[in-house]
Amino acid sequence: MSEILNVVLSDQPAPAQWGKSKISFSGEGACIHLSEGEPARIIQSAARKLTGQGIRDVALSGEGWTRALQWRFACGFGEALEPGTIAWASDAESLDAQRDAALWLKSLTHASPEALSPEVLADEVAERISAAAPEHVTTRRIVGDALLAAGWIGVHAVGRGSERPPVLLELDYNPTGDANAPVSVALVGKGITFDSGGYSIKPSAGMVTMKCDMGGAATVSAALKLAIKQGLNKRVKLYLCCAENLISGHAYKLGDILHYKNGTSVEIVNTDAEGRLVLADGLMAANEAGAERIIDAATLTGAAMTAVGSDYNALFTPCDSAATDALAAAAAVDEGLWRLPLAPLHADKCPSVFADTANSTTQKGGGAGGASNAAGFLSRFAGTPPKGWIHIDLAGAYVGGNGLNHEGATALGMLTVAKLLQDA
DSSP per-residue codes, 259-282: E-TTS-EEE-S-TT--HHHHHHHH
Assigned domain for 207 exists: yes
Last residue of a domain, one of 64, 90, 116: 90
* Residues 80 and 119 occupy one common structural domain: no
- Among the options 128, 202, 261, 387, which is catalytic? 202
- Same structural domain, 86 and 107: no
**Region 356-369: what's the mean pLDDT?**
89
pLDDT number for residue 377: 98
Q: pLDDT class for 2, splitting at 50, 70, 90?
A: low
> Tell me, what CATH number does 127's domain have?
3.40.630.10
Does residue 162 fall inside a structural domain?
Answer: yes
Do 46 and 134 fall into the same domain?
Answer: no
Is 96 a domain residue? no
pTM over 0.75: yes
Residue tagged active-site, from 225, 276, 380, 419 = 276
Query: What pLDDT shows up at residue 282?
Result: 98
The pLDDT assigned to 400 comes to: 84
Whether 39 and 15 share a structural domain:
yes
Whether 3 shows a pLDDT value over 90: the answer reads no
Residue 107 banded pLDDT, cuts 50, 70, 90: very high
Q: Tell me the CB-side half-sphere exposure of residue 408, using CA atoms within 13 A.
A: 20
Same domain, 69 and 150: no
Identify whether 202 is a catalytic site residue: yes
Q: Tell me the CA distances in angstroms from 71 to 250, 254, 415, one per residue in order.
A: 46, 45, 11
Which residues, including other chains, have CB under 8 Å from residue 303's CB and lie 6 or more apart?
Answer: 365, 366, 369, 370, 371, 374
pLDDT tens for each residue of 180-204? 999 999 999 999 999 999 999 999 9
How confident is the model over 35-55, as a mean pLDDT? 96
Task: Look over the chain and give the mean of its residue pLDDT values, rounded to a whole number.
Answer: 97
- Of 23, 55, 90, which residue is a domain's last? 90
Domain count, the chain: 2
| Active-site residue flag, 293 | no
Q: 421, 219 in Cβ contact below 8 A?
A: no
User: Do residues 212 and 237 share a domain?
Assistant: yes
> What is the separation of C-alpha 94 from the centre of its chain, rounded to a whole number of angstroms?
20
Other Cβ atoms closer than 10 A to 341? 12
Q: How many CA atoms lie within 13 A of 239 on its CB side?
A: 26
Decide: 166 and 158 in contact? Cβ < 8 Å.
yes
Of the candidates 282, 241, 277, 246, the one whose C-alpha atom is nearest the C-alpha of residue 164 is 246
- Of 62, 90, 118, which closes a domain? 90
Provide mean pLDDT across the span 267-283. Answer: 98
Over residues 210-224, the mean pLDDT reads 98
Task: Provide the domain limits for residue 54.
Answer: 5-90
pLDDT at 1: 40
DSSP 243-264: EEE--STTS--TT-EEE-TTS-
Kindly indicate the confidence band of residue 323, based on its pLDDT and cuts at 50, 70 and 90.
very high
Same domain, 114 and 229: yes
Q: SS3 of 108, please?
A: helix
- Do both 86 and 226 map to the same domain? no
Residue 289 lies in a domain: yes
Q: Which of 113-117, 158-162, 345-349, 401-405 is predicted least confidently?
A: 401-405
Q: Which ranges of 171-308 does DSSP label H, i.e. alpha helix?
A: 204-207, 215-229, 275-288, 302-308
Comparing 23-37, 66-80, 372-386, the range with the smallest average pLDDT is 23-37
